[in-house]
Amino acid sequence: ASDVYKRQHREREIIELRYGLQTGTELTQREVGERFRISRSYVSRIEKRALLKLREGLKTYNCGSS
């Protein structure tokens, strides 16, 4: 798989774990970091980047639907 695909997959998994989208149980950044063997601060950066992408996607979607 390409690096871009791997990064997108990890971003999606981190958001799902942080907000409990699959299990209903939200995990802390520290808990997510332990699962991925990365630091809490790196989880934070990945999470912020992923949420920004989601917001930008929603803006584009909303602008295109009117």
Q: What is the pLDDT of residue 8?
A: 92
Tens digit of pLDDT at every position of the chain (66 positions): 689 889 999 999 999 999 999 999 999 999 999 999 999 999 999 999 999 999 988 888 777 655
Roughly how many angstroms between the first and final C-alpha of the chain, as a whole number?
A: 36
Which parts of 1-66 fold into alpha helices (H)?
A: 3-19, 29-36, 40-64
The pair of three-digit structure tokens given for residue 24, joined into one six-digit string:
């209903």
Distance of CA 26 to the CA centre of its chain: 13
Using the structure block, give the residue that is written with the tokens 């990365």. Answer: 38
Q: What is the pLDDT of residue 65?
A: 59
Q: What is the pLDDT of residue 10?
A: 95
Query: What amino acid occupies position 27?
Result: L
Q: What is the pLDDT of residue 49?
A: 95
